[in-house]
Amino acid sequence: MKSILVVDDDKMNLAAARKVLSEEYKVIPAMKGTQALAYLENGDCDMILLDINMPEMNGFELLGKIQEMEQCKNTPVIFLTADKDAETETRCFKEGAIDFIAKPFVPEVMRSRIGRALELEELRLNLANKLEQKTREVSDMKSKSSQDALTGLWNRAYTEDAVNEMIAQGVKGALLMIDMDNFKAINDNYGHIAGDKTLKMFAGTLRTFTGEDDVLCRIGGDEFVVFIKDMTSKSEIGNLAADIISDLCYKLELCEFETNSSVSIGIAQTPEDGMDFNKLYNSADKALYHVKQNGKNSYHFFSDKLQVENDRAGKAVDLNYLREVMSRTDSGRGAYLLDFDSFHHVYNFIRRFVERNGKDVQTVLFTVTENDAQDLDVTEVELVLELLEKAIYTSLRRSDVSTRYSSKQIIVILMDTNTENGDMVAGRILDCFHKLYTGGKVNIDYGIARMEGKNILKSEPIEK
């Protein structure tokens, strides 16, 4: 049974209202505004009938206080009034009432108006509930369409919009591109279920190192992006990146994967590295590439490279100064390890140099082969290549150049070296490699040839 609160300072009017309505509704009487407010503090009702002319607090004043109560903001109110002038009627609706009933009450009219008002209110509530439900459904659908299905992190489209919106609002921060080294080996050797669990572990770990206002995203595969809001200190960002790497590597060790997996992070900051998501993403990607080409399992700021260039830009030099600087001995040690595209340009430059000057330059091709005709293990080959790269780096001069040609071969250019010395250098590399690698599951063969202008490798591999 629906309940109606009737507020009127006249006992006769209250009695009349109760007589007319009590068969269909629960009637709650109140003779003044303070009584009505006291009831509404702890009780509720489906409708309020409110007399206008009352002592201490008239109906309009009482309605204003009722409207301030959160639990009553949608309760329909009908005014009771003996005034029949248009001004009073107009004010009733203006103050928020849905109707008014003239005194003295006409029972059928009173029941009809109250019944119609309650039906309309029930219809309004039903429509409001349906709208709220649809809104939730749309919100859920939008949320799901913006999330990565596996990890629950945001996808790229949502992240791009969210980061751009924050930057537009003046927010500063850092974008971290996080990538797992050798993740493919986990899928290949342990299956995609293990790979999926690892990605979920990655996502969970990133959540522990970030706040509610930060944006976490899985771009795809084993590549994640995190935008850290309001973090601008390089030392603070660096410490965060180091902690993420340390924690993720520790958890990877607990998984006991024999994949030599690790974590690399590239970092870009606003505003210096970009003022929108795409520029930050590209900058962080370049910083990540730097980490990948320099041993992995670390982090790098994109701005570190730019700082060197900016420092140079701030000082104009002449050709004599430039020649002196460029001719100074490189204080670094070990061969230059390049990606294949960069190596290709260097190779052709050296080839043209040899063609014109007849210098002795040797090209060595190291190849990983299976031992005892066994199928090569992807993880083992990756480990072998990394250790071979380390042996090459530590065994050669700064003037020599190397690149990984494929998942089984590495190319080395030995500058100012004849064939006999080239064999000695290759042997030194292999000796260093065998000190690092004791697995015994693969062999390393190499072929060596003198660079002859446009000629490339011609000799047969020599097994070592």
CA atoms within 13 A on the CB side of 363: 24
Give the orientation angle of helix 419-436 with respect to helix 378-395, to 10 degrees.
Answer: 130
Per the residue annotation, which of 179, 222, 273, 377 is the catalytic one?
Answer: 222
Instruction: Go through the chain and tell me how many residues it has.
Output: 464
276 is catalytic: no
Q: What are the distances in angstroms from CA 58 to CA 13, 55, 86, 197, 289?
A: 16, 6, 19, 68, 76
Rounded-to-integer distance, Cα 117 and Cα 298, Å: 70
Whether the CB-CB separation of 249 and 180 falls below 8 Å is answered with: no
Rounded-to-integer distance, Cα 419 and Cα 410, Å: 18
DSSP symbol at 150: T
Helix then strand then coil, % of the chain, to nearest 5 = 50, 20, 30
Q: What are the distances in angstroms from CA 223 to CA 23, 182, 188, 229, 318?
A: 70, 12, 17, 20, 44
| Residue found by looking up tokens 């990756």 in the block | 382
Give the orientation angle of helix 107-145 with respect to helix 11-21, to 10 degrees.
Answer: 70
Residues 296-300: contacts with CB under 8 Å, at least 24 apart: 296/181, 296/262, 296/264, 297/181, 297/245, 297/249, 297/262, 297/263, 297/264, 298/245, 298/264, 298/265, 299/176, 299/238, 299/241, 299/242, 299/245, 299/264, 299/265, 299/266, 299/267, 300/265, 300/266, 300/267
Whether the CB-CB separation of 252 and 262 falls below 8 Å is answered with: yes
Catalytic residue numbers read 222
